Structure 1
Amino acid sequence: MLKIKMNNLSQRLAASFDTLEPVVLESGRVFSCRAEAEAVCEEASRALGLVAAWKLGATTRAGREVLRLDSPFFGPLPERRVFADGATLTGAAAGLRGVECEYGFKLARDARPDDAGLSDSDFLTLFASVHPAIEIPGARFSSLGAYGGLGLVADFGAAGALVVGPGAPLGDPAALTRAPVRLSIDGREAAVGSAEALDGGALPPVRGFLAAAFARGYAPRAGQVIVTGSCTGYVIAPPGAEVVASFDALGTGVRLRMGSDAFERNKSGNLEKNA
């Protein structure tokens, strides 16, 4: 593994995960390559505790072009940052403000290195259920884009929190891809989209994640949820707002209540001052 010494950057990122104290790189310092950013993330991730979910990012070509990345990224979400349907965000997660609607695929068994190469029908058996989910991205740096795409890679893949709704049988992945996904905030429609925006649809980004995860030494486990990347884009929700994501293909949805401003600070892209 690439050895990185950046003023204990990995330790600082891990500490900031639960405090929202912003991490600032020394003047002029940027990540020199993807391997460096991934090494920082891997070292920091060891301090987070038991992983309950994996979030994927840059799973659209347009997103990668903006971030100047050649492939998607991912990050771990520990148990304390994965909430059940109807939850109110608490702790450090209460200070996060952006929301995204995503499909979540729950692993039925421990993944294996060769799973990414399974036939389509065999690949489907890897998952116990598919879930409506709301991802709440987070940043340990001063903002989600403070250090570009490689900064997101290093920063746990911008993992913040996740709310997971009830599971449904997988069914036809093509139906998941086509069906509308709707986001509302305090009863008003805020965004409509679908998994058609993702690389190949709802399920292919998960196949790509498994290949990338094992290549980096991770081994996703049974019961963990893998979320696909946003079907509706990134939308800011104010403190105390009720956020509802409805997934037509699943016939159900998921809701959450944004936290208070107990962790409020001026953090553009992660926390809006007096939003």
Structure 2
Amino acid sequence: MTPAALAQVLWQARQPGQPRVSGPVCDASTLPDAAAAYAVQDQSLRWLGPVGGWKVGAAGPTQNPTHTPICAPLPAAGLLASGLALSPPRGALRGLEVELALRVAHDLPPQQQGLGDALLCTVFDAVLPAIEWVDSRLAGGQASPALLRLADLQSHGALILGPARPLGPAEPEPDLPTLGATLCWNGQTVASTVGGNPAQDLRRLVDWLIGHTARRGLPLRGGQIVTTGSCTGLLWAPEGAVSVQGRLGSWGEVGLSLIS
């Protein structure tokens, strides 16, 4: 199956009332490598509309190949403000995780291949607490082959953003190993962590993303949001109406209501 064909299958699964993708297309051999998965992402943008941001993460902080960062574009339509009421469609997953997000300060030149030794604030002008809603267009959900999940925008549903806090040269940069995060629903704390983001190294993530997006012909643009992986782990909200609140250390709070 070509990247364009798989992208169209995933797009169709996003439509109201349509089943998730199953059958032979979900076999681990469908995509040979990450480059093929990224090609599906690129093709998906034909239907998903403009890129409002990116999600990037890594399984660990080292140069081990299993810790290589991965990413996905975030449709602008799925970047939502804190306090909204979200009604996932019937059968959707209800995964939630608290994340640290950054706002891109200005368009990056296509030739820029990384952050280098520059301060974060030369590329990003704000930090935002975020909650990602994790969903899937694949019948196997999180049990699906990793490359298929990557092609499916790394299981992205929507990103809920709290108030932006300015990031400047006089302020300390966010530090993932010491960053605290909590996730609550219906007033009960379901996750409380310090240093819970497995990537650990924020600069490594954004350095890789800057180069990766430039090489794909999609360099970061001013106003886009970059979210940097789960700080609480992925938790599954119960069915029914759920009031959700997240806190990201001293960077602020973000919340939403899930409606059945």
TM score, norm. by length of structure 1: 0.81
Q: Distance in 1 between matches of 2:47 and 2:181?
A: 34
Paired letter, 2:211 = A
C-alpha displacement of 1:98: 0.5
Tell me if 1:243 matches 2:244: yes
Instruction: Judge conservation of contact 2:3–2:39 (CA < 8 Å) in 1.
Output: no
Instruction: Judge conservation of contact 2:181–2:193 (CA < 8 Å) in 1.
Output: yes
Tell me if 1:167 matches 2:156: no
Quote the residue 1:50 is aligned against: 50
Q: 1:87 aligns with which of 78, 84, 91?
A: 84
Quote the residue 1:13 is aligned against: 10
Quote the residue 2:181 is aligned against: 181
Please list every run of 5 or more consecutive structure 1 residues that lacks an aligned counterpart in the other structure.
Answer: 261-275
Quote the residue 1:35 is aligned against: 35
CA RMSD of aligned residues (A): 2.7
Tell me if 1:213 matches 2:216: no
Q: Structure 1's 151 and 94: CA in aligned 2 closer, same or farther, altered over 3 A?
A: closer
Quote the residue 1:60 is aligned against: 59
SS in 1 for 2:250: coil
SS in 1 for 2:12: helix
Q: Distance in 2 between matches of 1:214 and 1:72?
A: 15
C-alpha displacement of 1:24: 2.0
Q: Structure 1's 92 and 216: CA in aligned 2 closer, same or farther, altered over 3 A?
A: farther
Q: Structure 1's 248 and 201: CA in aligned 2 closer, same or farther, altered over 3 A?
A: same
SS in 2 for 1:104: strand
Q: 1:142 aligns with which of 118, 139, 144?
A: 139
Instruction: Judge conservation of contact 1:77–1:160 (CA < 8 Å) in 2.
Output: no
Tell me if 1:110 matches 2:99: no
SS in 1 for 2:165: coil
Q: Distance in 1 between matches of 2:8 and 2:30?
A: 17
CA-to-aligned-CA distance 1:177-220 (integer Å, 9 cap, x gap): 41311111111111112446342434431222122222222222
Instruction: Judge conservation of contact 1:55–1:229 (CA < 8 Å) in 2.
Output: yes
Q: Distance in 2 between matches of 1:219 and 1:128?
A: 17
Instruction: Judge conservation of contact 1:76–1:159 (CA < 8 Å) in 2.
Output: no
CA-to-aligned-CA distance 1:156-189 (integer Å, 9 cap, x gap): 1221111000011223125564131111111111
SS in 2 for 1:120: coil
Instruction: Judge conservation of contact 2:59–2:67 (CA < 8 Å) in 1.
Output: no
Higher mean C-alpha displacement, 76-85 vs 175-184:
175-184
> Which of the pair is proportionally richer in strand?
2
Q: Number of matched residues?
A: 251
C-alpha displacement of 1:92: 4.4
Q: 1:72 aligns with which of 69, 85, 109?
A: 69
Instruction: Judge conservation of contact 1:203–1:228 (CA < 8 Å) in 2.
Output: no
Tell me if 1:151 matches 2:152: no
Q: 1:124 aligns with which of 121, 126, 133?
A: 121
SS in 2 for 1:197: coil
Paired letter, 2:244 = V
Instruction: Judge conservation of contact 1:30–1:147 (CA < 8 Å) in 2.
Output: no
Higher mean C-alpha displacement, 222-231 vs 166-175:
166-175
Instruction: Judge conservation of contact 1:18–1:92 (CA < 8 Å) in 2.
Output: no
Q: Structure 1's 128 and 36: CA in aligned 2 closer, same or farther, altered over 3 A?
A: same
Moved over 4 A (4+): 91-94, 174-177
Instruction: Judge conservation of contact 2:113–2:214 (CA < 8 Å) in 1.
Output: no
C-alpha displacement of 1:93: 9.6
Instruction: Judge conservation of contact 2:4–2:40 (CA < 8 Å) in 1.
Output: no
Q: Distance in 1 between matches of 2:72 and 2:138?
A: 15
C-alpha displacement of 1:13: 0.8
C-alpha displacement of 1:87: 0.8
C-alpha displacement of 1:150: 0.8
Q: Structure 1's 125 and 177: CA in aligned 2 closer, same or farther, altered over 3 A?
A: farther
C-alpha displacement of 1:18: 3.9
